[in-house]
Amino acid sequence: MSFYRNSVWFLKGLREYTKSGYQAAAQQFAPKDLDVDLSGRCFLITGANSGIGKATALEIAKRGGTIHLVCRNKERAERAKAEIVNEANNQEVYIHILDMSKPKMIWEFADKFQQANGKLNVLINNAGCMINQREMTADQLETNFATNTLGTYILTTALVPLLERCEDARVVTVSSGGMLVQKLNVDDLQFEKGVFDGTMAYAQNKRQQVVMTEQWATAHKGIHFSCMHPGWADTEAVRSSMPSFHEKMKNRLRTATQGADTVVWLAISSAAAQHPSGLFFQDRKPVSTHLFLAQTRTTPGEEEKLMKSLEEIATNHKPNTT
């Protein structure tokens, strides 16, 4: 089954996820969807100092939005901010240093952010990693899971009260079409069983993000949740974590701006908000979260178990306030 899933997915990717796939899809885009004045609207973007996160921040800043860049590295964040401010001619760009693999830091950041900011219109969960060897954080969490799944879960959960204060509040999570090759595995969230495969761990994390998005949409009716696949884009993350893939595909990869297009569209367009909350998008259209005959569907009980497990782990890693 894994051979079938991977083969079908790769052929699909060659048709749809490449630069030519984007160009074909873009012929159906409505340009006016992104003709939006974002003055006074507040956006928080994780992993915003490079790649799709930075491209997203730039496009939103060009339209007047207030940008909060959440980055792990201060020097790279400062460089990204300077470039965004200069190119967008927008001074409302702010930096927050945060490691998304550290739960206590995320809880503390979210609390401070809510105290300092009266509103948040859109949260964009973009930060992620693909570590190809099984590594544990100082909190004894597997690093990919801690960053991609638990970090996203905690930040979103913690910021829901602030988002709920705004009309047209949105949460956009940058997932991946790679999740199509994985069935949700709620019994091994941190990849303790079998041989570790960083690519498959990443794909499992991205499947978890899709399920989280669906569950959040049901739980929080006042916020529009969505997740998306950016396609195969030429970013620093792809170059460092998947060097052989990048070398083979580099002439067919999308630009970071093309990869970010649907993130921006989901974050700012009125057309995106007309779709039901909780969907998975590719090139501005909702698409299936499962490949044909791939046997990746799970039960409501399994999805509920994922959310309960994440709640328990997240709660156990809250800062000690006593």
Q: Is 202 a catalytic residue?
A: yes
- Name the catalytic one among 17, 22, 153, 202: 202
Q: 34-49 burial by CB neighbour count: b if 16+ within 10 A, else e?
A: bebebeebbbbbbbbb
What integer is the mean pLDDT of 226-245?
89
- Assigned domain for 152 exists: yes
Q: How many domains does the chain have?
A: 1
**DSSP single-letter state for residue 130:** -
Would residue 66 count as lying in a domain? yes
Residue 50 has pLDDT above 80, yes or no: yes
Q: How confident is the model at residue 322 (pLDDT cuts 50, 70, 90)?
A: very low
Cα 322 to Cα 314: distance, rounded to the nearest angstrom: 18
CA distance 131 to 122: 28
**β-pair partners for 229:** 282
Residue 28 has pLDDT above 70, yes or no: yes
Question: Quick check: 77 pLDDT over 80?
Answer: yes
What lies within 8 Å, CB to CB, of 209 at 6+ separation is 125, 148, 149, 152, 173, 175, 179, 227
Q: Is residue 60 part of a domain?
A: yes
Residue at 322 is within a domain: no
For residues 151-170, give the mean pLDDT: 97
Statement: residue 111 has pLDDT above 50:
yes
Q: Is 321 part of a structural domain of the chain?
A: no
CB 130 within 8 Å of CB 198: yes
Residue 215 lies in a domain: yes
Does 243 score more than 90 pLDDT?
Answer: no
Would you call 29 exposed, middle or buried from its count of C-beta atoms within 10 A (0-12, 13-18, 19+)? middle
The CATH number linked to 298 is 3.40.50.720
Domain that holds residue 243: 2-316
**For residue 1, what pLDDT is reported?**
63
Q: Which amino acid is at 67?
A: I
pLDDT in tens, 179-196: 999 999 999 999 999 899
Phi first, then psi, for residue 170 (nearest 5°) are: -140, 150
pTM for the full predicted model: 0.96
Residue 162 has pLDDT above 90, yes or no: yes
* The pLDDT of residue 321 is above 80: no
pLDDT tens column, 117-144: 999 999 999 999 999 999 999 999 999 9
